[in-house]
Structures are given as structure tokens and as C-alpha cells.
């Protein structure tokens, strides 16, 4: 698949010249005649590289470049500024705005092709690194790490988070009876279904540990309503697990999903050693979510008092009475989450 390049210039003949040159080389080319139009197109369908004129009415090339760099989704998008102004003076301004390269008018064709080819090669390497990082981190965190903001995000800190713990009821006897291939078949389907929902709701997956899953919300990227996202995700997970449960029940295995949700302050950051780092949340809130999960029956979701208070009026909650949980000196108020309230 050929790379897609966006040419941005308010002069039609300049746009046509650059677009024709690039198409001859096999590139797919889009065009925009203003900075505002360019930003709208990039937001809708990010290209692989932008050739951006400096002087335009409205937003200048510098303005567009700064906005692209301020947005995590486009922070790594290669940008080449193009100008007929004094190259030495404008090059400094372009670098300060975040441009990756610079071309002077009139365009030197061999130089154009060489710079485009070089930047696309670098982007390809970045895309490969990003794909590998996304195997360990959420897409937003992976992009931030690659953009150079990872050290700040991964530094140890304290924050209010909502934590979800899940595991399978009946997994231990299943693993004892099933073949190794069957165990891996179940875990693959289970992890895939749950993992898609974690990403869809903006959660941070701390780990898969066999049949156990831990997810937290509101870190490293803050969310407007982390608890509602956590609740919505967990309810969808119960629905998504139903066909997996039914398929294995037809094969003679009884499985069900239990979950616990708690909200509180945790210590977060990178833990591990050189060569293997994980991003983790540590604190009593994670222990509480785990204990609530352990108390939940198959198909049940138990939540703590803080979670219940945040979704009260929107969720169908049933008080279960204080629970005596391991590691907690006092009984813990808990609620059974049965779904969203019927607002009809």
C-alpha cells in the first residue's frame, strides 16, 4: 500500500506541481488549501506525511505544525515545511514549531523525493515500535512513550483510580480436566473478548494472570467519568462472556465470570527491572477490588460504597450487607451491580 501524503498550500499551481510530482513516484496524494482545512482532513484521516506551506491566510504553517505537535494523536506525524522566504531564518522558526524537515521554493525535485523517502522510512520504524509497545501498554500510553512523554507518565505518583478485578468461576476444575490445548483455547477467546472492551472504555490493563484480569481507570490518562467507564465495561464483559460460557457448557464445562470494582487512591508507576517493566497500581483499593471479586458469584459484580455512590441513580444496585474480607479489619459495605437503571 502506497504512503499517503497531504500537500497544503493556498496557491493552486503549487499544490498541482507537488501533487503531480509525488503521484508520478507512486504516492497517494491529498490536498488542502488552508491550515484549517488541513487540520480537519488530518483529524478525519491522518496521512503518512504532510508537506505544509509556511505562509497562508488564517492559520500559518507554523500554527498548524504546533497544533499537530500538541495533539497526542498527531505528535509523531512527519511534517515538512515549505517556503519561498529566507531559508535560514525560517528554518529556525520551523524547528521551533516542531517541523521535521524544511524545503525551499522553487522545489528541487531530487531533494523533495529524498526528504520524503527518508521521513517515510523513519515513520515506518516508529510505527513498528508503536505496534510493539501497544502489546504491553494502552494505545494512548504507547503513543506518549514514543513521543517522549513516557518518563513523566510512568513516574511513581498517587491518584484516585477505579479498579476492576475479574476471574473465572470453575476455572481450576476446568484446567484439571481439560487438555492443555483446550485451556489455551479458552484463555485466548476470554482474553481477546475482555481485552477489546478494556481498550474501548479507556482502561489500563495491568495484567492477565491466567483467568484473572486487573484493569484500572483514570491513569495514566485521566478520564472524565472513570467509574462509569469501569461499570459500563464490566457489565459489557459479563454479556461478552455469555457466548463463551455457553460454548464450553455444551462441551461439559461449567464456567462463569465474577467481578469486583472499587474506587480509591493508589500508588502508580513502572515496576520491574531493566528489560521487563510493567505499569502497576498498588494500594488498598486494588486489594479491595480483588476481595470483592473473590466474594462475587458466577455472573455477579460486587462494588464498594464509593463506586455505588458514583453510579447511584444510573445503575441497578442491591445492597448485600457488610462483608468480612481478608485483609480488612472492619466489615466492608458492598453492593451487587445488576445493570443500568431502566430510564424508560
Cβ burial 218-248 (10 Å sphere, 16+ → b, else e):
bbbeebeebbbbbbbbbbbbbebbeebbeeb
Dihedrals φ, ψ of 35, to 5°? -65, -40
Residue 137 has pLDDT above 70, yes or no: no
Residues 180, 187 contacting (CB under 8 angstroms): no
The DSSP-derived string for 269-297 is: EEEEETTEEEEEEESHHHHHHHHHHHH--
Q: Report residue 181's pLDDT band, with 50, 70 and 90 as the boundaries.
A: very high
Backbone Cα Rg of the chain: 26
- The domain covering 4-133 belongs, at the CATH homologous superfamily level, to Response regulator (3.40.50.2300)
Class of domain 156-340: alpha beta
Residues 299-322: tens digit of each pLDDT: 999 999 999 999 998 899 999 979
Residues 171, 244 contacting (CB under 8 angstroms): no
> Which of 331, 254, 255 is closest to 291 using CA atoms?
331
Is pLDDT larger for residue 3 or for residue 246?
A: 246
pLDDT at position 307, please? 97
309 burial via Cβ count (<10 Å: 0-12, 13-18, 19+)? middle
Give the span between the Cα atoms of 238 and 256, in whole angstroms: 9
pLDDT at position 303, please? 97
pTM as predicted = 0.65
* Domain range summary for the chain, segments of one domain joined by +: 4-133, 156-340
Residues 146-168: tens digit of each pLDDT: 666 666 666 788 999 999 999 99
Is pLDDT larger for residue 77 or for residue 142?
A: 77
Amino acid at each position: 500500500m502506497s504512503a499517503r501524503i497531504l500537500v497544503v498550500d493556498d496557491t493552486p499551481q503549487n499544490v498541482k506541481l507537488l501533487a503531480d510530482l509525488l503521484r508520478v513516484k507512486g504516492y497517494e496524494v491529498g490536498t488542502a488549501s488552508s491550515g484549517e482545512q488541513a487540520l480537519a482532513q488530518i483529524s478525519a484521516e491522518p496521512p503518512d506525511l504532510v508537506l505544509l506551506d509556511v505562509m497562508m491566510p488564517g492559520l500559518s504553517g507554523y500554527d498548524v505544525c504546533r497544533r499537530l505537535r500538541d495533539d497526542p494523536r498527531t505528535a509523531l506525524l512527519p511534517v515538512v515545511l515549505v517556503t519561498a522566504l529566507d531559508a535560514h531564518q525560517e528554518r529556525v522558526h520551523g524547528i521551533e514549531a516542531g517541523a521535521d524537515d524544511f524545503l525551499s521554493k522553487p522545489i528541487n525535485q531530487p531533494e523533495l523525493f529524498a526528504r520524503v523517502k527518508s521521513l517515510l522510512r523513519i515513520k515506518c520504524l516508529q510505527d513498528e515500535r508503536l505496534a510493539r509497545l501497544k502489546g504491553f501498554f494502552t494505545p494512548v500510553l504507547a503513543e506518549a512513550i514514543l513521543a517522549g512523554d513516557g518518563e513523566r507518565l510512568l513516574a511513581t505518583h498517587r491518584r484516585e483510580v477505579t479498579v476492576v478485578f475479574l476471574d473465572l468461576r470453575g476455572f481450576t476444575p476446568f484446567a484439571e480436566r481439560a487438555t492443555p490445548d483446550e485451556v489455551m483455547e479458552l484463555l485466548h477467546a476470554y482474553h481477546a473478548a475482555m481485552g477489546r472492551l478494556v481498550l474501548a472504555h479507556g482502561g489500563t490493563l495491568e495484567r492477565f494472570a491466567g483467568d484473572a484480569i486487573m484493569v484500572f481507570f483514570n491513569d495514566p490518562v485521566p478520564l472524565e467519568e472513570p467509574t462509569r467507564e469501569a461499570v459500563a465495561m464490566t457489565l459489557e464483559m459479563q454479556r461478552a462472556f455469555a457466548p463463551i460460557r455457553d460454548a464450553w457448557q455444551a462441551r461439559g464445562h461449567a464456567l462463569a465470570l465474577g467481578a469486583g470494582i472499587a474506587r480509591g487512591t493508589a500508588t502508580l508507576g513502572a515496576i520491574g527491572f531493566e528489560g521487563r517493566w510493567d505499569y502497576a497500581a498498588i494500594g488498598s483499593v486494588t486489594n479491595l477490588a480483588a476481595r470483592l471479586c473473590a466474594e462475587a458469584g458466577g455472573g455477579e459484580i460486587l462494588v464498594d460504597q464509593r463506586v455505588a455512590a458514583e453510579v447511584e441513580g444510573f445503575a441497578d444496585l442491591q445492597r448485600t450487607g457488610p462483608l468480612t474480607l481478608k485483609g480488612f479489619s472492619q466489615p466492608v459495605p458492598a453492593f451487587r451491580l445488576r445493570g443500568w437503571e431502566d430510564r424508560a
